[in-house]
Copies of this chain bind each other. A is one copy, B any other.
Amino acid sequence: MTNKSKVTIRDVAKAAGVSTQTVSRVINNRPDVSPATREHVKKIVGDLGYAPNTIAQSLSSGRSNTIGVVGFGLEYFGSARVLTGIERKANELGFSILLTLLDQFDRQKNERVLTHLIAHQVEGIIWAGPAFTDTMDVIDKMTKNLTVPIVLLNRNSSNTNIVVAMDNRTGGRLATEHLFEQGYQKIGIITGPASWWEAKERLAGWREVMTENGYSDIDNLVFEGNWEAESGDRGFKALNAAVPDLDAIFVCNDQMSLGVLQTANRIDLTVPDDLGIVGFDDIPESSYFSPPLTTVRQEARKLGALAVTQLNECIGTELDEERDKSGENLVTPKLIIRKSSVRN
């Protein structure tokens, strides 16, 4: 049925014996068309296999129904989920997605990406690129006089843009409080790279709770990992050597937790009896670590969906100072308690 060569609105109009406007009205479900002609046109549309040219619609109407998404690190479980969440919600709201992936911070490339998206007439942008603390103001500047709204993911705040984020600090608090509740005393932390906002926040949460529990001078309890299992291994060894009476570790992601568990097993240290462990992320495998891992679950998909919702609201309103960056845009993570932190 579907004809190879593109059939235009004019072809349909001609075949139906009406004007192109009438066809336009029908395909856009506008009123002001008699039921009879509407049906007639619909039939012709079907027969000819006509589908409106979105490009032309966009140019003519000034609306692209497309949002630009700048992603990063899909190999991280969280990032992949965020993108999934974005796609689902965007789809639901009738937006198409123009995707760009970044791998590292590079101002020039960032600017090119932005320009590229704008040139494509996207109606808004979701920036889920890398959130390095030292590049945040750069991004703020870059996006300052954008012609379309932009939602930034995973960072504290921006004075110019909407921000949506996982509440990593609370996540860090949850993990640490739980370890204290379980009776652990000397709680170390293996963080992610200090340049990552997420790492900083989780660390801050840990620090808060440590302080609240009367610990000061705790810098020797901190090891900076790189998110990978191997660094969990290293971190555990380093902390163990530096702090003999260490009895628990908040490991800032599940991969590194695996490294810790692996090493603990090897040196016959029993988790959770000798060492309590809490991870972060709740990757699907974490319930199959030995022992199963207590961890902080991030609802990454929800975060992605929230970003789209927020963006959509901005797209609706005129963007002249209509934005309120209310603090409601935090998604709170949740502690999943398993064996690795609960003594028998």
Contact = CB atoms under 8 A, between A and B. Distances in A.
A11 interface: no
Interface of A: 2, 4-6, 51-56, 58-59, 64, 69, 74-75, 77, 80-81, 83-84, 87-88, 91, 96-101, 115-116, 118-121, 145, 147, 228-230, 232-233, 255, 258-259, 261-262, 265-266, 284-285, 287-290
> 6 tightest A-B contacts by CB?
A229-B288, A74-B80, A99-B99, A87-B101, A54-B119, A54-B120
A84 B79 CA distance: 12
Contact of A55 (B6, B59, B116, B288): B59
A255 B287 CA distance: 11
A301 to B, nearest CB: 10
A119 B53 contact: yes
Contact of A120 (B59, B96, B232, B289): B96
Contact of A91 (B52, B100, B118, B255): B100
Contacts of A6: 147
Given A59-B59, A229-B284, A115 B147 contact: no
Copy tally for this chain in the complex stands at 2
A121 B53 contact: yes
16 contacts: A6-B147, A51-B115, A52-B119, A55-B55, A80-B80, A83-B101, A87-B101, A88-B101, A91-B100, A96-B98, A97-B98, A229-B285, A230-B287, A255-B284, A255-B285, A259-B288
A300 to B, nearest CB: 10
Contacts of A233: 288
Contact of A56 (B54, B59, B259): B59
A233 B288 CA distance: 9
Contacts of A53: 59, 119, 121
A307 B199 CA distance: 36
A289 B259 CA distance: 8
Nearest to A5: B147
Nearest to A260: B288
B290 A262 contact: yes
Given A54-B120, A74-B84, A100-B91, A285 B285 contact: yes
Contacts of A2: 145, 147
Contacts of A116: 96
B288 A265 contact: no
Given A55-B121, A115-B51, A84 B101 contact: yes
Contacts of A284: 75, 228-229, 255
Contacts of A121: 53-55
A58 B54 CA distance: 11
A265 B83 CA distance: 36
B266 A4 contact: no
B87 A119 contact: no
Contacts of A285: 229, 255, 258, 285
A13 B53 CA distance: 29
Contacts of A77: 75
